[in-house]
Structure 1
Amino acid sequence: MTTEDAATTAAIDIVTRQAVDSLRTTADPRLRDLLTALVRHLHAFARETRLTQGEWADAVGFLTATGGACTDTRQEFILLSDVLGLSMLVETVHGHSAPGTTESTVLGPFHLTESPARELGDSIDLMGDGEPCVVSGRVRSADGTPLPGAVLDVWQADAHGFYDVQRPDLQPPGNGRGSFTAGAEGGFWFRTCVPSPYPIPTDGPVGTLLKASGRHPYRPAHIHFIATAAGHAPVTTHIFVAGDAHLDSDAVFAVKDSLVKDFTPTDDPSLAREFGVPNPFRHARFDVVLERS
């Protein structure tokens, strides 16, 4: 190492030490730990990559544009976190599921509005232009006890791969969304359409990032759930349609094998009448198992 290199290294060390030391008076110990680790890792990244001033300016511009793309119905920063795997990493660090309980996964950027309360058996597909589907199951505790009164917040894209907030001119508010209360034995069911795989929004900074890194933007077909019950830890999860071409390359890294479910083709006129759907239809079964809190 030359004298100049040694001098530069020493100067870099001083900057990092000063930045870390400046945080010592942070009153909240957790905030102090978070900021200290953030500074250390950011400085290490800049040193490892030899980050240039132009690259730093580009990064600032990208983050500024990401913030500018956020609206009441779009969260570009969550989308950025998702495609970098950070959302799923945080979920994995803290989302350990007890054996036999339903695994958690990411919230996603489209849980932006309150789901309308619906009765069991109601349809969340207000458009009626997709393949008819019934989703049914039970909510129970890890010991098998049914959980009547459990609440399931459900949301999904329409048959064309768009959420209601993405196309408010074409979809009524609340399309693809519903809040259901489980029945006496913890049972629930609702009608919908078979979800479609879809690309995450690519018309903003995150789309530019995906294109620059040669990645596709597709998510496998899925339905979101948040399940809550008294005395139990809530779970945020999905179910994914078995056989989807994007299960192994989800743009947000959220697929777990236990959450891949068969949406079984069903040709049974009497069952279709019972469910109130056209025949044939698809039927997905999903039992939600919660851990006691």
Structure 2
Amino acid sequence: MTGFFTEERSVETVNARMGKHINPRLAEVMASLVRHLHSFVKDIHLTTDEWEIAIGFLTKAGQICNAERQEFILLSDTLGLSMLVDAINNRRPIGATENTVLGPFHVVGAPERKMGDTITLDGKGESCLFEGCVINAHGEPINGARIDVWSDNADGFYDVQQPDIQPKWNNRGIFTTGDDGKYSFVGIKPVSYPIPNDGPVGQMLSSLGRHPYRPAHMHYIITAPGYQKIVTHTFVGDDPYITSDTVFGVKHTLVAPFERINDGSTIWRSPFNFVVTPCDEGK
């Protein structure tokens, strides 16, 4: 034991209170957390008033959380923590499709659709053909890859945000590749939108002089037997927020072409190939 608490030996004193037979990983995580927290407080000489503000912020974040909203995930996203955890846990070889944040609006059980189907059900927005291939690092097509897609509508809202306004499963669908590995579906050219900013995280962003916007993107989850799951987006490159995504989700390899084609009712085309990585590679 290290004795009584002192400023100089605060870390050692707190960590010494842990039991000897606890989960080793828990001990490692908590010891590091205490070490970094105490170092942070000492480094900036945190005042009592500042500590009270921090406690109040966390209290308000907890109070606003419910089944539809998770303010702590929003906090993690806007501090870049979510992207850092994702990057550490999804390291892949150069050339493989990179992950980005899942986001809060994925819904399990979206309808299975046929290749080429339209996922936009509300009739809004500029129609866009999304197409490409799911391939491995050697360029070989992947048969049986499931592609789960979703996006906001032309007003910048997901269907689950407007259950009384948008049709159920608007801008959502699941597609399965054949022998050629190709996919195609018609959605809309997505638009940028703000994350929920009426709570403590929004107040934090405002205080920091930051905007709450995400650049326009299409969501994808791609799964195939024997390959790592890809959770990612493709982004509209000329979006005004492309270099300042409030959740830091943009990677340059995920910026997709959006080509104006004006082919009948379809205005845009966005080609993008997804390169999957074997389960045992890059971990």
2:76 partner letter: S
User: Larger helix proportion, structure 1 or 2?
Assistant: 1
Alpha-carbon separation, structure 1, partners of 2:215 and 2:21? 43
Q: 2:48: which partner in 1?
A: 53
Which region of structure 1 is more displaced relative to structure 2, 22-31 or 199-208? 22-31
Matched, 1:23 2:9: no
Asked if structure 1 preserves the Cα contact closer than 8 Å seen for 2:10 and 2:38, the reply is no
Instruction: Tell me how far 1:148 sits from its aligned partner.
Output: 1.2
User: Does residue 285 of the first structure (1) align with residue 280 of the second (2)?
Assistant: no
CA shift in 2, pair 1:249/1:176, >3 Å: same
1:201-216 matches, within 5 Å, as 201-216=196-211
Check whether the contact 1:201–1:207 (CA below 8 A) recurs between aligned residues: yes
Match of residue 160 from structure 1: 155
Alpha-carbon RMSD across the aligned residues, in angstroms, is 1.6
What is the TM-score of this pair, normalised by structure 2?
A: 0.92
SS of corresponding position for 2:160: coil
Residue 232 (1) aligns with residue 233 (2): no
**What secondary structure sits across from 1:67 in the alignment?**
helix
Instruction: Answer yes or no: is the 8 Å Cα contact 1:97–1:104 preserved in 2.
Output: no
Per the alignment, residue 79 of structure 2 pairs with 84
Describe the shift of the 1:26–1:50 C-alpha distance in structure 2 as closer, same or farther (beyond 3 A): farther
Corresponding residue for 1:3?
Answer: none
| Counterpart residue number, 2:137 | 142
Does the residue aligned with 1:12 lie in a helix, a strand or coil? coil
Give 1:171 deviation, angstroms. 1.5
Check 1:210–1:112 CA distance in 2 against 1; reply closer, same or farther (3 A cut).
Answer: farther
- Superposition pairs for residues 1-293 of structure 1, below 5 Å? 11-25=6-20, 27-269=22-264, 278-279=265-266, 281-293=267-279
Aligned residues: 275
Contact 2:64–2:71, Cα closer than 8 Å, also in 1: yes
- TM-score, length-scaled by structure 1: 0.89
Secondary structure of residue in 2 paired with 1:207: helix
- Structure 1 runs of 4+ with >3 Å offset: none
1: CA distance between counterparts of 2:180 and 2:197? 43
Distance 1:232 1:212, change over 3 A: same
8 Å CA contact 1:79, 1:108 repeated in 2: no
Q: Which SS does the other structure have where 1:291 is aligned? A: coil
Describe the shift of the 1:115–1:60 C-alpha distance in structure 2 as closer, same or farther (beyond 3 A): farther
Q: Which amino acid aligns with 2:160?
A: V
Q: Deviations over 1:234-255 (max 9, x none)?
A: 1111100121111111111111
User: Which residue identity is paired with 1:284?
Assistant: S
> Structure 2 vs 1, CA of residues 115 and 58 (structure 1 numbering), >3 Å: closer, same or farther?
farther
**Post-superposition offset of 1:175:** 1.7
Q: Distance in 2 between matches of 1:113 and 1:67?
A: 25
Gaps of 5+ in 1: 1-9, 270-277
Moved more, 167-176 or 223-232: 167-176
Identity %: 47
CA distance in 1 between counterparts of 2:165 and 2:193 reads: 17
Question: How many Å separate the matches in 1 of 2:130 and 2:160?
Answer: 23
- The CA distance in 2 between the partners of 1:71 and 1:189, in whole Å, is 36
Q: Is the alpha carbon distance of 1:143 and 1:173 closer, same or farther for their aligned partners in structure 2, counting shifts above 3 Å?
A: same
2:32 counterpart letter in structure 1:
A
Q: Distance in 1 between matches of 2:203 and 2:21?
A: 37
